[in-house]
A = this chain, B = another copy of it.
């Protein structure tokens, strides 16, 4: 029953150590995510995260530099998840139609993951892309959701599918992105505010997708 027989040469049980380390690291992330989502990031304390996995508060600091780093790592995951949702759209020939699908997928992601969406796109100071996002390959459409949108916009621009006042793919991408972001962001922030009679956001955002494309497309030549 002596161990080293079935372990491949390099580092006998050091692998287990590392595996366990990653495991508790993951448990911390999981607890943090749950509490962040449930109570908001500002309202959840390091002590609460630690208590949930039966650790001492300072133990967390052996795995993450500080609270922001914890949040940043969660954000990278969510950001990659968004890019993955875009990836799942698949190859669609017409770039305009592809942009429409991107918009729908974006809105669904936002409304299905409201808290994560808040961390990603509604919170100042770059938890995202600051340092924590060094693992995301910027400008790689498979990992960078904005690059994915921008690439489709650029393609449509090159094919002359948009009105001539639009030349800068970044500007146009931002008009489209912003047009949808505003609807979901307002809804997330003010949904429990009886001041306004909120329309159902998913339907509203889908209408907005059409509005934005109709408002930017070049008129049919026929």
A residues adjacent to B (C-beta < 8 A): 40, 42, 118, 121-124, 126, 128-130, 133, 138, 146, 165-166, 168, 170-171, 174-175, 177-186, 188-190, 192-199, 203-204, 207-208, 210-216
Asked if A138 and B195 sit within 8 Å, CB to CB, the answer is yes
Q: Which residue of the partner chain B has the closest CB to A185?
A: B185
Asked if A170 and B183 sit within 8 Å, CB to CB, the answer is no
Select which of B123, B168, B182 is within 8 A of A199 by beta carbon. Answer: B168
A194 to B: closest C-beta gap in Å: 8
Asked if B189 and A123 sit within 8 Å, CB to CB, the answer is yes
Contacts of A198 in B (CB 8 A): 170, 174
A85 to B: closest C-beta gap in Å: 19
Q: Which residue of the partner chain B has the closest CB to A171?
A: B199
Q: Which residue of the partner chain B has the closest CB to A175?
A: B208
Q: Please, could you name 28 A-B residue pairs with CB atoms under 8 Å apart, sorted by A?
A: A121-B186, A121-B189, A121-B190, A122-B185, A122-B189, A123-B189, A124-B189, A128-B195, A138-B195, A146-B195, A146-B196, A166-B207, A168-B199, A171-B203, A171-B204, A174-B198, A174-B199, A175-B183, A175-B204, A178-B184, A178-B185, A178-B186, A179-B183, A179-B211, A211-B212, A211-B216, A212-B212, A215-B216
Q: Which residue of the partner chain B has the closest CB to A216?
A: B211
A180 to B195, CA, bound (A): 20
Question: Would A215 and B204 be within 8 Å (CB), given that A182-B180, A183-B175, A186-B174 are in contact?
Answer: no
Asked if B216 and A174 sit within 8 Å, CB to CB, the answer is no
A32 to B195, CA, bound (A): 26
Q: Which residue of the partner chain B has the closest CB to A168?
A: B199
A144 to B: closest C-beta gap in Å: 8
Question: Would A182 and B189 be within 8 Å (CB), given that A170-B197, A196-B146, A215-B210 are in contact?
Answer: no
